[in-house]
Each structure stands twice: as C-alpha cells, then as structure tokens.
Amino acid sequence: MHDFPHETRQVNNGRARSVEIVQQVAERIAVSVSQVIVGKRNEVRMTVLGLLSQGHILIEDIPGVGKTMMAKALARSIGCTFSRIQFTPDMLPSDVTGVSLFNQKTREFEFRAGPIMAQIVLADEINRATPKTQAALLEAMEEHQVTVDGVTYTLQEPFLLLATQNPIEYEGTFPLPEAQLDRFLVRIQLGYPAPNEEMTVLTSQQHEHPLANTYQVVSVQELLAAQQAVRDVYVADEVKRYIIDLVTATRQHPDVYLGSSPRGSLALFRTSQARAAMAGRDYVVPDDVKALAEVTLAHRIIVGPAARIKDISSRTIVQDILTATPVPGAVAR
C-alpha cells in the first residue's frame, strides 16, 4: 500500500515541526546557560543534548571549573524543581532516597522525601560517597522511581541526574561502579577556560554572579514536547547497523577487558537523534554518530590491565574503533 502524496506531505510537515520545537527549546536553554558558563559552547550544547535525550549526565573534571554552576544554570533555565546532594563518605542511602518516620500522633509511618525526589538533581562529587550510597541512585536513574521500606514512589517528569566527579586519582574518592557508570547517557569534561574567557569570567563576576540573573526560558511542557519530538527523528537501518558495529567493536577490541553494554547502543542512538534535531534535520547521518561515540561509549569501556600499564585510555580506544569501522555510504578507495 503506497502513501498518498498528501499523507507523505503531512508526515514530513509533522517531522519538520518536531525538529523546529527541538531547535527552539535547545537554543533558548543553551543561550541561557552560556551566560553563566563562559566559552564552553560545545559542552553546554552536549548537556542540553543529554537533557533532550532524557538521559543522565556525568561531568568529570578537576575542582573549580564550573561543574556545579552548569547544573544550577540548567535547572533555573527550565524552571524545574532542583535539589543538590553534596556527597560525603559518611552519607547514608536514606540521606538520598528519604526515610519513613513514625508519627506518634497518628500512630503511622510517614515518608519524608529525600533530595532525589526533585526533577533536576545535582549529585555533587558523587565519587566521594561510599559504593552503598552511590547504589541508592540506581533505581531512580533507571526506573525513575524510589522504593523505601517496600513502598515505591514515582519521580516527577522530566527527571535528570547531573552528577559531578573529580578525577579518580584525587584523595578520598571511590570509583563509580560499572553498573552506575552505565546508567549515565554521556560523560563530558569542561576543562580550563582560555585566558580571554577567564578574563570575561573575572569581569562578569566583579559585582554579582551571573547565576543571579538566570531565569526560566522554557516551560516544563515545552521541554517534555521537545523530548518527545526527538524520538520522531528518522534513523535509517544503515545508520542503526553502524551504531551496532561500533558498539560490537568495543567488545572485541584487544585492549578492552569489558566492552559497552546494549545500553551504550541506545545512548548513541538517542543522542544522535537529538543532535540531528538540534542541527535542524529530521534524519540522522553517520556524522552525528561519530561526533557522539566518545561521550556515550568511553565511560562504558573497561580497559584491560596490560593496556592500562601502557596508559591507553578508553577514549583512545573509541577513536581507534571510529577509524577502523567502515562508515555507511562511504566508498572504499
């Protein structure tokens, strides 16, 4: 059965409208956050991309480069409920999820919600908490719900966990378990600003912090519509095969002890859709996949002991795989 011309036109118009929604929402949030985080346009857009892809974001970098400010600016720009959890070694799982307390008057247990019950949660210095406390986040990240004393509480949409961590070599840090790293859609670094950007930071913060002038630029309804619109972006079978080839290559690489999970394939698929929509396209091209392979796959790869001694990183491995894997549509010379 063939589509009639006007039906095809309607589908195309619907896709074009979806892309327009994503572009408008992404641009407004990116401009708002960029006023606080100076000179990090790519990193800001990557954070917005993670938000539109309905995934959690891990910002890994040294102290003082603006990881916490990025999360706060993002929460203010979308007008969602925001909470900040400062992780410490003595923190308990109940400090994150909440606790049931016995009320003497009513003779019943009452649930006191923990900070995880907000829409945008900043998990600051997540790798300073013990593995047991880190594990308290797993259910919330994957199922968007929290279970306390056998009762399950659903988290409000949109739900985004923005975690920051200092490099593992820092004293008093616990490496994140593989199961938790796998639940982060992307991992990004901010890095030091350039000298001229640092000059802008000094000038902009002379009297007050730019965060004080950051306001809501999109409504929650607009954000939810944009997140839904991302899913309408077309992905050809050849591009899906390319994603699978890249992820499969991480499992077969000689320097890899443990490759990416199928969740990595989904992350690369969904972020590629979001990148295409943000660029004004209603279809994914291989360049979208290539641009996002490192941020979506590198943190899911465990480098083998021999490769670690040679100082080979998971990022280097992903770049190797990108070079070696044929791109769909490319003609071999």
17-232: CATH architecture: 3-Layer(aba) Sandwich (3.40)
What pLDDT is stored for residue 109 in this prediction? 80
Two structure tokens written together for 295: 């941020």
* pLDDT(300) > 70: yes
**pLDDT tens across 169-198, in order?**
566 677 777 778 888 999 888 777 777 777
**pLDDT tens across 21-70, in order?**
888 888 998 888 888 777 778 888 888 999 999 889 988 877 766 777 88
Contact 133, 115 (CB under 8 A): no
Angstrom distance (rounded) from CA 260 to CA 247: 6
Angstrom distance (rounded) from CA 51 to CA 78: 10
Angstrom distance (rounded) from CA 128 to CA 201: 28
Contact 260, 181 (CB under 8 A): no
Annotated domain spans of the chain: 17-232, 234-333
Contact 62, 190 (CB under 8 A): no
**pLDDT tens across 128-157, in order?**
888 888 888 888 888 888 888 788 888 888
Instruction: Identify the burial level of 108 via C-beta atoms within 10 angstroms of its C-beta, where 0-12 means exposed, 13-18 middle and 19 or more buried.
Output: exposed
Two structure tokens written together for 283: 């279809």
Q: From 146, 148, 147, 180, select the one nearest 165 (Cα to Cα).
A: 180
Would you call 185 helix, strand, or coil by DSSP? strand
Would you call 9 helix, strand, or coil by DSSP? helix
Q: What kind of fold does domain 234-333 have according to CATH?
A: Helicase, Ruva Protein; domain 3 (1.10.8)
**pLDDT tens across 223-276, in order?**
888 989 999 898 999 999 999 999 999 888 888 888 888 999 999 999 999 999
Instruction: Identify the burial level of 322 via C-beta atoms within 10 angstroms of its C-beta, where 0-12 means exposed, 13-18 middle and 19 or more buried.
Output: middle
Q: How far is CA 235 from CA 13, 258, 287, 327, in A?
A: 17, 27, 13, 15
* pLDDT(164) > 50: yes
**Amino acid of residue 133:** T
